[in-house]
Amino acid sequence: MKKRKLEVAVISDVHLGTYECHADELITYLNSIQPAILILNGDIVDESRTAKDYFPPSHIKVLRKLLSMASKGTEMYYITGNHDATLRKFSGTSLGTMKVVDKLVLQIDGKLAWFFHGDIFDVSPQNAKRIARLGSFGYKLLITLNRFGNWLSKKRGKERFSFSKKMEKNTKRDSKYMSDFEQSAIDLAVDKGYDYVVCGHTHQPKKEEHETKNGRCLYLNSGDWVEHLTALEYSFKRWKIYKYNHDKLSPFFADEEIKEMDMKELIATILKKNKPSKDKESID
Ligand SMILES: [Mn+2]
């Protein structure tokens, strides 16, 4: 079966380990593409999930599929989100072809694309923008502030991570929050001279060109695999929102190879392919 060749594919907010995650549809999608670069833009595994023992075979299959793609030469970036924040401890490390980062800058066809999950704006988009202007230090500070918010709500006897959950349930749908989120991302990106700013977190797939007094920027959001089942794809020098429910799929075929491969074998294959990075991400 022919897979669609893509230069870059971006998925986010998969929330593996929750009942709401559409893992089967995601496997079907991943089986239909062959991206040179795959960016996992946060909240792929949901560590704040309520049902701790829920991690069905289809969810494990997604992880295996991702490892298999990495072992077959797809350059992969795992950008941490608020639901997989444990991984932030490993930021800057790499497991062979898979790199764990908090944010990423790639040069694509001469344009600069800035990727980050977007939870740094939970503090308040306006304040976050000011702090994020402090560069790498500001970004780390925002992550710490959000973690402090989670810790505080836990201390007060509330459910763990209720802070971010509350943000996602009530505030994200709030159109003021949404427009502040997008505007802050765009303003920061324009400041830094980036052509594209690519987020997740809001679960709202979007592609929108913005012009500010300081410059232009394309805002992109990969949506989610909970409700919208969307991804971002870059090929033929343009970005496109892929919608599972509307776009034509390459017919599904079972990836027998993955089923047979055992986890240790996969990790060994990835580690063997450990090659020096091209330093593309060191721009910021
Ligand atoms: Mn998130």
For residue 195, the CA-to-ligand 1 centroid distance in Å is 23
Write down the pLDDT at residue 239. 97
For residue 166, the CA-to-ligand 1 centroid distance in Å is 11
Write down the pLDDT at residue 95. 73
Contacts of 198 (CB under 8 A, 6+ apart): 10, 39, 41, 113, 114, 115, 116, 220, 221, 222, 232
How many Cα atoms are found within 13 Å in the side-chain-facing hemisphere of 239? 24
For residue 85, the CA-to-ligand 1 centroid distance in Å is 10
Mean pLDDT of 11-24: 93
Residue 38 pLDDT exceeds 50? yes
Per residue in 68-112, pLDDT (tens digit) is 999 999 999 999 888 887 777 777 778 777 899 999 999 999 999
For residue 200, the CA-to-ligand 1 centroid distance in Å is 7
- The overall average pLDDT reported for the chain is 81
For residue 214, the CA-to-ligand 1 centroid distance in Å is 28
For residue 168, the CA-to-ligand 1 centroid distance in Å is 8
β-pair type (33-41, 75-79): parallel
Q: Taking every pair of C-alpha atoms in the chain, what is the biggest distance, in angstroms?
A: 55
Per residue in 113-149, pLDDT (tens digit) is 999 999 888 776 667 666 666 666 666 666 676 666 6
Whole-angstrom distance, CA of residue 154 vs CA of residue 152: 5
CA 182 to chain centre: 16
Of 101, 112, 234, 118, the closest CA to residue 183 belongs to 118
38, 9 contact by CB (below 8 A): yes
For residue 203, the CA-to-ligand 1 centroid distance in Å is 8
Handedness of CA 249, 253, 259, 264 (dihedral sign): negative
Q: Specify the CATH number of the domain 4-283.
A: 3.60.21.10
CA dist list (Å): 151 to 147, 163, 214, 279: 6, 9, 38, 35
Write down the pLDDT at residue 13. 95
For residue 39, the CA-to-ligand 1 centroid distance in Å is 15
For residue 117, the CA-to-ligand 1 centroid distance in Å is 7
Contacts of 159 (CB under 8 A, 6+ apart): 153, 165
pTM (predicted TM-score)? 0.77
Between residues 266 and 32, which one has the greater pLDDT?
Answer: 32
Domain locations along the chain: 4-283
For residue 163, the CA-to-ligand 1 centroid distance in Å is 12
For residue 224, the CA-to-ligand 1 centroid distance in Å is 10
Per residue in 229-282, pLDDT (tens digit) is 999 999 999 999 999 998 866 444 445 455 555 666 767 766 765 555 444 444
For residue 48, the CA-to-ligand 1 centroid distance in Å is 11
Write down the pLDDT at residue 106. 97
Q: Work out the angle between the directed axes of helices 125-132 and 136-155 (0-180°, nearest 10).
A: 140
For residue 118, the CA-to-ligand 1 centroid distance in Å is 7
Per residue in 172-207, pLDDT (tens digit) is 556 777 888 899 899 999 999 999 999 999 999 999
Write down the pLDDT at residue 37. 97
Residue 208 pLDDT exceeds 80? yes
For residue 284, the CA-to-ligand 1 centroid distance in Å is 22
Whole-angstrom distance, CA of residue 221 vs CA of residue 219: 7
Which run of H or of E encompasses 126? helix 125-132
For 201, phi then psi, to 5°, come to 70, -45
32, 249 contact by CB (below 8 A): yes
pLDDT band at 63 (very low <50, low <70, confident <90, very high): very high
Tell me which residue has tokens 């295996």.
Answer: 64
Count the neighbouring beta carbons within 10 Å of the beta carbon of residue 224. 25
For residue 232, the CA-to-ligand 1 centroid distance in Å is 17
For residue 123, the CA-to-ligand 1 centroid distance in Å is 13
